[in-house]
Structure 1
Amino acid sequence: MYHPTVPGFALEEGGEGQILRLSGDWTVATIHLVDAGLGAVRAGQGLVLDVSGLGRIDTSGAFLIDRTLRAAGAWPARLQGDHPVAEGLLAQVHPHAEPVSPPDKPSAGLLAMLARVGQGTMDFLREVTGILTFLGETVATLARLALRPWKLRWTSIFAVMEEAGFNALPIVVFLSFFVGMVVAFIGATSLRDFGLEIYTIELIGFSMLREFGVVLTGIVLAGRTNSSFTAQIGSMKMRQEIDAMQTLGLKPMEVIVAPRVLAMLVMTPILTFAATLAGIGGGMAVAWSALDINPGVFLERMRSSVPLDQFWVGMSKSPVFGLVVALIACRQGLLTGGSVQSLGRATTTSVVQAIFAIIVIDALFAIFYMELSI
């Protein structure tokens, strides 16, 4: 059985300059013994590498030696002595071991600020273009599946509906209930000074039906479901499962994206409806306990004072929010690279983009309905 010998080195002064004499085995199993010491060597130009006492060497040892040669400016290497593989390995690893120059420090000043603003604007436009392109591809895929419904993967759709929809129901209801309580407390406190506590009912009705129910649902889905979709698809990308899928003739848009989009289009309105009811329930509890407005009076006044179209305003946003969450999550998952860092960045980007998109789209809906006087 072979036992590796301990690696060693010695820096000596010779007639033609400095000589770095190597000895022992420089392999992945032994180089940790000389890594720190060799890194501290300060050799000058004209360094000669003596490999006559060198034993075994692999690419790990060659990288370590190449680091010293580069630091001394002694490339191409001047070898002394004979070794069967040392010269070839050093030549092989050198192109891949070039030092990475440190990033330039950001410059200050007006021009630099304008350059950063311009770069950020172009990045934003590229992201918007990419999302719209992915939206178009998704719509085309859904249209193809609508013409050939037998290709729909119903098992995947129902599995996503359970995971992303029904499993998210408790947290959506819980948060909406307490937000409804907060809105009721704020309304009761603010309106008490004017003797208008009864209008707390209208405040709860309009805010929960029109805004808070659907926005809270979208934000919860952006934080919970969006990150889950991105992590799942990114992990598949890292493990090359998507490449294998394409090799088998399966289309990732039909197998991965379409079931998630369809499931979110169905489940988001259901979650929004549950969130709206929970928020109204929280406001009703506060009105009953703090304002002595019994549930019967509360519901009757809400029915007569809050138009039904406010409910449909909120519900009309929910499919759009579900579509946006699914699109951003799937796109970022498919853009994941082959490293864990790439998966982390994609997940973070996905959640941030989804929350940003929900807020912006909600503002656009508000402007749209305001113009329609709804």
Structure 2
Amino acid sequence: MALTFRGDWTLAHYSALNRLVDAAKSKDIDSDQLDVSQLGRVDTAGASLLVKLVGAGKLIAAVENSDLAREQRALITTVASAMKTEQQPTPKINPILAFVASTGEKVSNIAHLAWLLAGFIGETLTTLFLVLPRPRRWRVTSFVAAVHDTGLNALPIVALLTFLVGAVVAFLGATVLQDFGATIYTVNLVAFSFLREFGVLLAAILLAGRTASSFTAHIGAMKVNEELDAIRTLGLNPVELLVVPRVLAMMVTLPVLTFVGMISGMIGGAVVCAITLEIPLSQYMAIVERDIGLTHFLVGIGKAPVFAFLIAVIGCLEGFKVSGSAQSVGEHTTSSVVQSIFMVILLDSIAALFFMEMGW
């Protein structure tokens, strides 16, 4: 059956044309018997109806052999090609192969991230060792500003959070140990947990969420605004200018915040012990002094600079990876928080196993 198209195929006539297309769609159409030479005006809506009626391949063949205006041929061919791509059936994928491929892709991405992080750590350490022996190249103002932002401003939230967690740990310890008549050991539980783990872990996680995201957003915004390119154009090293002061500031402030977290957590436990267990502060301090060795404090405080270095490096690296849009800034800010918290918990687990095997 030959089919001739004539008149205007535009959005204004879309409803009427669509009904005609639906009525004629079931008929067998031969691509050699399509006549499009009498078409009037055609827009994308009309071209989509033509494709719907005769198919993309048949329409493209008919248009190429017609004497339509060049603009009309180009419009119809473009719409038909786009719809032909959309209409291609999705190939069936073996779910097992898809799972294996997805797992391999994720492992490859993790390996790539680890490789980038290792390279950036090496670049940061190299720059740090080059700058430290040269006081004239120290960025004192940036360092002090970073210390104020990462340390002083974070002090209240760290103290409050660790105080509350210390109270919760004391409540839990008292509840469990009461069945054994050993509530006095709640003091040991609180002091031991905060000196070795909770003090540094809570402070590091808070800084990972608060400070690493700030570093990423700041450096990412600078990259979006092409300020990093301007820094390089001036002959300055962005790592020296932006990363080193932040890394040093974090390595100074996190041990201080860790110490504050330890003290606040133990104070929270002491308050609970005094209220619910009737253990006075003097007895609480005497138990801590008698049973809790200095090694536990050194183990906890010794992990703080390592966590601080990793958090700062990850936050800065994600900022440098921003591609140049506001969406990219948000994505990498989220990624920096997730990676920082993951690395902190992973290293803390490894350190706990190591110190346990060493008997420290």
Same fold? TM cut 0.5? yes
Say if 2:278 is the partner of 1:278.
no
How far is 1:18 from its partner? 4.0
Aligned match of 1:149 = 135
Aligned match of 1:336 = 322
Per-residue CA deviation, residues 191-212 of structure 1 (Å, 9 max, x unaligned), is 1111111111111110000000
How far is 1:75 from its partner? 6.0
Aligned match of 1:182 = 168
CA distance in 2, matches of 1:317, 1:82: 75
CA distance in 1, matches of 2:343, 2:50: 51
| Amino acid in structure 1 at the alignment position of 2:347 | I
Aligned match of 1:26 = none
Equivalent positions of 1:167-178 (< 5 A) are 167-178=153-164
Aligned match of 1:356 = 342
CA distance in 1, matches of 2:14, 2:294: 74
Aligned match of 1:293 = 279
Per-residue CA deviation, residues 345-371 of structure 1 (Å, 9 max, x unaligned), is 212211111111011100111122112
| Amino acid in structure 1 at the alignment position of 2:281 | P
| Amino acid in structure 2 at the alignment position of 1:204 | V
How far is 1:121 from its partner? 2.2
Secondary structure, in 3 states, of the residue corresponding to 1:170? helix
CA distance in 2, matches of 1:50, 1:348: 58
Say if 2:95 is the partner of 1:108.
yes
Aligned match of 2:225 = 239
How far is 1:49 from its partner? 9.5
Structure with the largest fraction of helix: 2
Compute the RMSD of aligned alpha carbons.
3.8
| Amino acid in structure 1 at the alignment position of 2:331 | R
Verify the 8 A CA contact 1:21 1:49 in the aligned structure 2.
Answer: no
How far is 1:103 from its partner? 8.5
Secondary structure, in 3 states, of the residue corresponding to 2:290? helix
Aligned match of 1:207 = 193
Secondary structure, in 3 states, of the residue corresponding to 1:139? helix
Per-residue CA deviation, residues 88-117 of structure 1 (Å, 9 max, x unaligned), is 9999999999968898786413x4433333
TM-score by length of 1: 0.77
CA distance in 2, matches of 1:92, 1:174: 63
Q: After superposing the two structures, state which structure 1 stretch, 120-129 or 259-268, moved more.
A: 120-129
How far is 1:244 from its partner? 1.9
Per-residue CA deviation, residues 255-282 of structure 1 (Å, 9 max, x unaligned), is 1111111111111111111111110110
Correspondence for 2:245 among 259, 265, 285:
259
Verify the 8 A CA contact 1:134 1:331 in the aligned structure 2.
Answer: yes
Change (3 A) 1:90 1:243: farther
Verify the 8 A CA contact 2:6 2:40 in the aligned structure 1.
Answer: no
CA distance in 2, matches of 1:355, 1:163: 19
Verify the 8 A CA contact 1:184 1:204 in the aligned structure 2.
Answer: yes
CA distance in 2, matches of 1:36, 1:157: 68
Unaligned 5+ runs, structure 2: none
Unaligned 5+ runs, structure 1: 1-14, 24-30, 55-60
Say if 2:179 is the partner of 1:193.
yes
Q: After superposing the two structures, state which structure 1 stretch, 266-275 or 67-76, moved more.
A: 67-76
Equivalent positions of 1:60-71 (< 5 A) are none
| Amino acid in structure 2 at the alignment position of 1:223 | G
How far is 1:47 from its partner? 8.9
Change (3 A) 1:212 1:69: same
Per-residue CA deviation, residues 56-81 of structure 1 (Å, 9 max, x unaligned), is xxxxx99x989999994566976967
Change (3 A) 1:217 1:90: farther
How far is 1:233 from its partner? 1.4
Q: After superposing the two structures, state which structure 1 stretch, 338-347 or 167-176, moved more.
A: 338-347
How far is 1:38 from its partner? 12
Change (3 A) 1:248 1:20: farther
Equivalent positions of 1:86-101 (< 5 A) are none
Correspondence for 2:116 among 108, 130, 137:
130
Change (3 A) 1:203 1:239: same
Verify the 8 A CA contact 1:52 1:82 in the aligned structure 2.
Answer: no
Q: After superposing the two structures, state which structure 1 stretch, 35-44 or 135-144, moved more.
A: 35-44
Number of residue pairs matched? 344
Q: Percent identity?
A: 39
Change (3 A) 1:331 1:75: farther
| Amino acid in structure 2 at the alignment position of 1:177 | F
Change (3 A) 1:167 1:50: farther
Equivalent positions of 1:3-18 (< 5 A) are 18=5
| Amino acid in structure 2 at the alignment position of 1:140 | T
